[in-house]
Amino acid sequence: MQITFLGTSSGVPTRSRNVSSVALRLPQRAEFWLFDCGEGTQHQLLRSDLKISQLTRIFITHLHGDHIFGLMGLLATAGLAGNPTRIDIYGPPGLNEYLRACERYSYTHLSYPLKVHTVQPGFIYEDEEFTVSCGPLKHRVTAFGYRVVEKDRPGRFNVEKAAQLGIPSGPIYGKLKRGEQVTLPDGRQINGADLCGQTEIGRKIAYCTDTVYCDGAVELAQDADVLIHEATFAHQDAQLAFDRLHSTSTMAAQTALGASARHLIMTHFSPRYAPGNDIQLNDLLAEARSIFPSTEMAYDFLTYEVARRR
């Protein structure tokens, strides 16, 4: 699992940072999922190693422009260039109406099936490998954060040991690999768990933006391997954060600490902290690390490999 940041600015793009979008690449499936889609996201994809044809799911946190203005352009390009089989989009109420209006008034015809799912708190997607859930955040409009959980997998199956025990290969191996108990033709009972290595614990990722500090974000980030959290303002500008219902660097760190997350990556920075100003982004990083040391600051095209726990 790889996380690629395609836009890390808040509100408006800057020369070095586009507006919000994060890609989660699933190499074993040759696909990626997108979280938010600010204006210019398709241009950022073209500058990355990601292929638009491999986009299968998009998760939208809320309907502010810096999180959705790139959506219709990306969907249109996907049909013209990427030719996807299907794209599923998840987001708050109003998202479907917004997209249908964009289609209608721009005379855009998508050449592939597009399904928009209006989300509510709880589980919103599950397959054989992953579950995705969402929860409410605290912003000026309805906003949701997302949590992606990879399911645990049995450890490596010991083929050599199975052969030594005289277990015939075939469908029985599949059951044993899943940790099931199997009765052999000779009456012996074999516990698959005894033939598998240590269980591989699934990885967990939480994505929380836009929001002021809230219990909902802590819940989504519980025990996460990586928490991606907005840090629009410095601690000194906390009143602005409360007024606009955004987070400071210290709020992001407190969320990670309260959730017992393993790693925090901050994003969605106000352009006010550009080089040359009194407060700069390195100051926000220092503030966060004083509370939660395992913190880093995202930048456009940063790619982060989510490692398995050992």
Q: Which band of pLDDT confidence, cut at 50, 70 and 90, is reported for residue 83?
A: low
Active-site residue (options: 36, 66, 210, 225): 66
Peptide bond into 194 cis (omega under 30): no
Percent of the chain with pLDDT strictly greater than 70: 99
Same domain, 76 and 215: yes
Q: Which band of pLDDT confidence, cut at 50, 70 and 90, is reported for residue 309?
A: confident
Same domain, 221 and 235: yes
Distance between CA 189 and CA 180 in Å, rounded? 10
Distance between CA 173 and CA 200 in Å, rounded? 18
Mean pLDDT of the chain: 94
Sheet holding 21-26, edge to edge: 114-118, 87-91, 55-59, 31-35, 21-26, 2-7, 303-305
Residue 185 lies in a domain: yes
| Sequence-distant (≥ 6) Cβ neighbours of residue 243 within 8 angstroms | none
* Annotated catalytic residue 66: yes
**Residue 80 has what DSSP assignment?**
I
CATH code: domain of residue 225: 3.60.15.10
Same domain, 221 and 301: yes
Same domain, 177 and 206: no
How many separate domains does the chain show? Answer: 2
Instruction: Decide which of 50 and 185 is more confident.
Output: 50
Q: Which band of pLDDT confidence, cut at 50, 70 and 90, is reported for residue 121?
A: very high
Domain membership of residue 129 as a residue range: 2-153+200-305
| 18-56 as b/e: b if 16+ CB within 10 A | bbbbbbbbbeeeebbbbbbbbbbbbebbeebebebebbb
Residue 310 lies in a domain: no
Q: How many CB atoms lie within 10 A of CB 300?
A: 20
pTM > 0.85: yes
